[in-house]
């Protein structure tokens, strides 16, 4: 959420952000309602002051045993007016909050301006492109040949977009998750959280999924709880309605969770196999930091996500997202796209974003600075990383000519673990 005072003082910038992000927020309606509400608040405050003044007059007259019937009658009328104004003010405040929740975050000045992903800026490429002396297969062929993933039985159980990992495939998926969790803790200093997979409406609103994306979420209607689309939601809201100390910052957390998304993309090639799923696994990094430090933390988190891809020796590219491809809540986002040699395309495996104070305001996360003043920390998050497309890149990059899969060295310790009898 953006500070209302800032919106009031910078309407042109906010309107441009709405346009650049392809949002439909009604800024004019918000500003008109804000002006009306402020006038109503002034009227309410004036009547409250009059009520207090008359209370003093009545109290004085009663102490002096004077007749206060006139003042009591007038007081009754003022009280009735205050009640009416309070009801109107409450309604307008609720309407204003609703409009505020639909104003997107303002992109940073170095974010490319453009309507869609075609305007994203490729920053750099990393890792060598492997040369093949045979035609590499795609992950669907490899998964089927090696009995790693069962898409048909997953669809039978739950519908499309819900794969079943089987045998070595299940162990590979679990090894990926464990490797990334431990890597981020041991190498990058994150503290692990294991979070609920269902959250309330307030939490979803805090990180910006609601109200805009409610139709894309899986919801338990009876309890009004939502299956999380990413661990970002429970981890960021871990400090909801709390006041931290500046000495606590920065806070670095990492969490694994299944992620649930009703909208899994368009039909066709883009949804084949593991490319777009309704349920998938992801390791998420979340940071809370002092406002002046968030640009540095964004670059560090990008390095953290890249470290995972480098550990597997994968070729990938780094993109800076254009305004039209930014999420509703993001100020600036980098994407990591890994090369899948069998599919012959780049696939997004991580988005790393700086949200400024946008989420902290919505979730009411504050800290007290060195001078004792209340401030909002900046929040950042990034995939560290999502497993489905990483699995695609690994299967396709580590395949042998006969269609078998070579296990990456960094995963061998996790696959060789056995319970001692």
Residues 6+ apart with CB under 8 A from 189: 252
- Is residue 338 within 8 Å of residue 347, measured between CB atoms? yes
- E strands of 156-203, at which residues? 164-165, 191-192, 198-200
Judge contact between 285 and 190, C-beta under 8 A. yes
How many whole angstroms separate alpha carbon 107 and alpha carbon 112? 9
Nearest of 22, 40, 50, 129 to residue 91 by alpha carbon: 40
Concerning whether 261 is annotated as a catalytic residue, the answer is: yes
For residue 84, give every residue at least 6 positions away whose Cβ sits within 8 Å of its Cβ, in sequence order, or none: none
Catalytic status, residue 351? yes
Q: Is the preceding omega at residue 385 within 30 degrees of 0, hence cis?
A: yes
Cβ-contact 227, 260 below 8 angstroms: yes
Of 350, 389, 396, 397, catalytic: 389
Query: Residues near 63 by Cβ (< 8 Å), separated by ≥ 6?
Result: none
Tell me whether strands 164-165 and 345-354 are parallel, antiparallel or unpaired.
Answer: unpaired
421: Cβ–Cβ under 8 A, 6 or more apart, which residues? none
Q: Retrieve residue 389's tokens.
A: 């497309």
Check: CB of residue 324 under 8 Å from CB of residue 22: yes
Question: Residue 126 pairs with which residues in a beta bridge?
Answer: 316
User: Among this protein's residues, is 348 annotated catalytic?
Assistant: yes
Q: Which of 334, 306, 391 is nearest to 127 (CA)?
A: 306
Which tokens is 329 given? 């809540």
**Which of the residues 173, 232, 257, 276 is marked catalytic?**
276
Strands 149-150 and 332-340: unpaired
Phi/psi at 417 (5° precision): -65, 135
CA distances from 233 to 47, 165, 206, 283, 390 (A): 43, 26, 8, 13, 22
| Annotated catalytic residue within 88, 95, 345, 348 | 348
Q: Which of 37, 232, 261, 300 does the annotation list as catalytic?
A: 261
Choice among 294, 327, 351, 383 that is catalytic: 351
CA 255 to chain centre: 14
Contact call for residues 61 and 45 (beta carbons, < 8 A): no
The residues annotated with a catalytic role in the active site are 261, 276, 348, 351, 389
């Amino acid at each position: 959420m953006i500070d209302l005072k800032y919106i009031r003082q910078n309407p042109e910038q906010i309107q441009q952000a709405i346009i650049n992000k392809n949002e439909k927020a009604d800024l004019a309606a918000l500003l008109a309602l804000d002006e009306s509400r402020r006038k109503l608040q002034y009227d309410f405050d004036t009547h409250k002051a009059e009520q207090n003044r008359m209370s003093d007059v009545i109290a004085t007259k009663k102490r002096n045993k004077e007749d206060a019937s006139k003042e009591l009658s007038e007081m009754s009328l003022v009280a009735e007016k205050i009640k009416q104004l309070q009801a109107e003010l409450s309604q307008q405040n609720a309407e204003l909050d609703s409009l505020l929740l639909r104003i997107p975050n303002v992109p940073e000045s170095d974010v490319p301006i453009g309507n869609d992903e075609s305007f994203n800026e490729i920053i750099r490429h990393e890792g060598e492109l492997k040369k093949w002396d045979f035609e590499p297969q795609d992950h669907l062929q490899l998964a089927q040949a090696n009995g790693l993933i069962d898409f048909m039985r997953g669809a039978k159980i739950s519908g499309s977009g819900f794969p079943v990992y089987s045998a070595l495939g299940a162990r590979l998926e679990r090894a990926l998750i464990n490797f990334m969790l431990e890597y981020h803790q041991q190498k990058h200093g994150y503290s692990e959280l294991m979070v609920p997979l269902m959250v309330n409406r307030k939490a979803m609103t805090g990180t910006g999924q609601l109200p805009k994306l409610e139709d894309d979420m899986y919801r338990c209607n009876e309890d009004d709880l939502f299956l999380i689309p990413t661990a970002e939601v429970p981890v960021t809201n871990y400090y909801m309605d709390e006041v931290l100390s500046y000495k606590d910052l920065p806070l670095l957390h990492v969490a694994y969770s299944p992620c649930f998304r009703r909208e899994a993309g368009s039909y066709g090639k883009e949804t084949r196999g593991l490319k777009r799923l309704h349920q998938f696994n992801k390791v998420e990094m979340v940071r809370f930091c002092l406002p002046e430090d968030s640009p540095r933390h964004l670059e560090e988190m990008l390095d953290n996500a890249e470290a995972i891809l480098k550990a597997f020796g994968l070729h990938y590219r780094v993109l800076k997202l254009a305004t039209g491809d930014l999420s509703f809540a993001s100020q600036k986002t980098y994407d990591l796209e890994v090369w899948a040699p069998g599919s012959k395309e780049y696939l997004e495996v991580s988005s790393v974003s700086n949200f400024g104070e946008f989420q902290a305001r919505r979730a009411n996360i504050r800290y007290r600075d060195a001078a004792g003043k209340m401030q909002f920390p900046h929040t950042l998050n990034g995939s560290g990383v999502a497993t489905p497309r990483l699995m695609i890149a690994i299967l396709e990059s580590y395949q042998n000519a006969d269609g078998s899969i070579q296990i990456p060295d960094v995963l061998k310790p996790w696959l060789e673990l056995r319970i001692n009898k």
